[in-house]
Amino acid sequence: LQLLGLEEPVSKLSVIHVAGTKGKGSTCAFVERILRASGFRTALFTSPHLLDIRERFRLNGEEVSEETFNQYFWWCWDHLQANEAEQGLPMPRLFRFLTILAFKMFTSEDVDVAILEVGLGGRCDATNVVRNPAICGVASLGYDHMEILGNTLAEIATEKAGIFKAGVPAVTVPQPAEALEALKKRALELNIPLETAAPLETYNLGDLKLGLQGEHQRTNAALAALEQGRLPDSYIKGLVEVRWAGRAEIVREKKLSFYLDGAHSPESMEACAKWFSSAARADNIHKENEEISAFDIKQFNTPTSNSRQILLFNCMPKRDPNLLFPPLLDICKQQDISLELAIFVPPYSSYTSIDNTHDSPVDPDLSWQKVLQQHWESFKEKGKISSYSCHFGVSSAVMPSLPAAIDWLRFCSARHPNLHLQVLVTGSLYLVGDVLRLLK
């Protein structure tokens, strides 16, 4: 920042800095929309992107234009390359470069406040160069990136609390005791207040429907709102109008519905399963009521219902399916939602050709997908998967590519027009982004 002349402009930028294991991006989205509804000119930096890298940079709620992105991108690139040639300093890696790009963009544009989502951890994150943010927030904490952040909640929370600054208030949500103690310890060391956001129900909002679906989003909304007493109308407007792609999002194609949520930790998978179970049930009731006026509601989501639930899954090999599958299966089983078929697919983005032909490799490596399938089948043998008679003949399948999986689902839907196929897409935000890209 100093070499690019950005150190002083960044120090003058009003920043809201948010860390967390799950929900930090959604919290940032809530904060941004609340502030914009309150009349502030906003900048938002988040990660990762789903469809286009420009999604990471938003000005006044809008993804930056190609012209704006290219202008600041090449300014940063050219200056950093010049420094590399003159002083031998290596080019920063991708996320650090994008963070520099965000700072250049936000300090050059006319914004009142910038909301920064931590990329990974907090203490050593590139966004943590901000020395005097207006406030620091920590969303829900859990086990993730343990190879970097530590093996205990206390160690992970300590890394997240690395964004705390002396003289800057901090806020969090209800946390596991071990994690909360670590946050409090760091706040005490810095002699700063650490407030726990009150539940959204405190504000007596009735049946207010948030712009982001899922019960867990109420926790993120409460962290974003953080107000004493009655919420101003602008706050309520922000909570209702916020949008965040790929998080508890539903895309419908006639009787084929895709439920997308990029859960990649046990805690986020539990939240995802609760949302999917609720949304799938609600959709079934709505569709059944449209088609059959006199129908026993008790029959919904049973083997006789005209709906089938399918899992479309992938995750990185560093993720442990033995931690991800149980919360998904347990919640679905409790809610009488039967994932009759699990489809495992390889990554798609890594082999998307530049000419956009959507061709996959002739012989893709499916070894990891077969490992996932084996774990899934082991849970079936243990009785974790409901023993409903399977409409598809098999309980799991490995498909050679994501486009092939989507084509097959569309074929099944067309072949059985009276059947509502509900496909949960989860395990990786990259998978969610690829599905959105193909559906569009």
Please indicate if the annotation marks 261 as binding a ligand.
Answer: yes
User: In the chain, what is the straight-line distance between the N-terminal and C-terminal CA atoms, in Å?
Assistant: 38
CA distance linking residue 386 with residue 215, whole number of Å: 24
Q: Which of 23, 25, 64 is nearest to 43 (CA)?
A: 64
Beta bridge mates, 71: none
Residue 391 has a pLDDT of: 60
Q: Which of 69, 70, 76 is nearest to 4 (CA)?
A: 76
The secondary structure of residue 197, as a DSSP letter, is: P
Beta bridge mates, 311: 342, 424
Cα angle value 130/134/137 (rounded, 5°): 85
Please say if the pLDDT value at position 300 is more than 80: no
| Entry field: residues in the chain | 440
As a whole number, the mean pLDDT across the chain is: 90
Q: Provide the whole-model pTM.
A: 0.87
The string of pLDDT tens digits covering residues 301-338 is 344 468 999 999 999 998 999 999 999 999 999 999 99
Please indicate if the annotation marks 117 as binding a ligand.
Answer: yes
Q: Which stretches of 122-256 are DSSP H helices? A: 146-149, 153-160, 177-190, 217-225, 233-241
Residue 40 has a pLDDT of: 98
User: Residues 17-33: what's their mean pLDDT?
Assistant: 97
Please indicate if the annotation marks 247 as binding a ligand.
Answer: yes
Model confidence at 350, pLDDT cuts 50, 70, 90, reads low
Residue 304 has a pLDDT of: 40
Residue corresponding to tokens 């964004």: 163
CA distance linking residue 234 with residue 257, whole number of Å: 33
Q: 292 vs 33, 103, 306, 340, CA distance in Å?
A: 40, 56, 11, 24
CA distance linking residue 308 with residue 409, whole number of Å: 12
What is the DSSP track for 17-67? EEE-SBSHHHHHHHHHHHHHHTT--EEEE-S--SS-GGGGEEETTEEPPHH
The string of pLDDT tens digits covering residues 131-142 is 999 999 999 999
Residue 36 has a pLDDT of: 98
Task: Count other Cβ atoms within 10 Å, centred on residue 209.
Answer: 10
| Extents of the domains making up the chain | 7-241, 249-439
Task: Count other Cβ atoms within 10 Å, centred on residue 262.
Answer: 23
186 burial class (0-12, 13-18, 19+ CB within 10 angstroms)? buried
CA distance linking residue 123 with residue 376, whole number of Å: 36
The string of pLDDT tens digits covering residues 53-66 is 999 999 999 999 99
The token pair that represents 83 in the structure block = 């420094």
The string of pLDDT tens digits covering residues 213-246 is 999 999 999 999 987 778 999 999 999 999 999 9
CATH number of 7-241: 3.40.1190.10
Q: Which of 393, 332, 404 is nearest to 366 (CA)?
A: 404
Q: Are 233 and 183 in contact (CB under 8 A)?
A: no
CA distance linking residue 36 with residue 114, whole number of Å: 11
Model confidence at 366, pLDDT cuts 50, 70, 90, reads very high
Residue corresponding to tokens 């990554």: 347
From the candidate CATH numbers 3.90.190.20, 2.40.110.10, 3.50.50.60, 3.40.50.620, the one assigned to the domain spanning 249-439: 3.90.190.20
Model confidence at 287, pLDDT cuts 50, 70, 90, reads low
Please indicate if the annotation marks 410 as binding a ligand.
Answer: no
The string of pLDDT tens digits covering residues 116-157 is 999 999 999 999 999 999 999 999 999 989 999 999 999 999
Residue with the larger pLDDT of the pair 285 and 51 = 51
Which of helix, strand or coil describes residue 251? strand
Please indicate if the annotation marks 47 as binding a ligand.
Answer: yes
3-state helix, strand, coil in the chain (%, to 5): 45, 15, 40
Residue with the larger pLDDT of the pair 25 and 390 = 25
Residue 385 has a pLDDT of: 61
The token pair that represents 116 in the structure block = 């920064």
The string of pLDDT tens digits covering residues 184-213 is 999 999 999 999 999 999 999 988 999 999
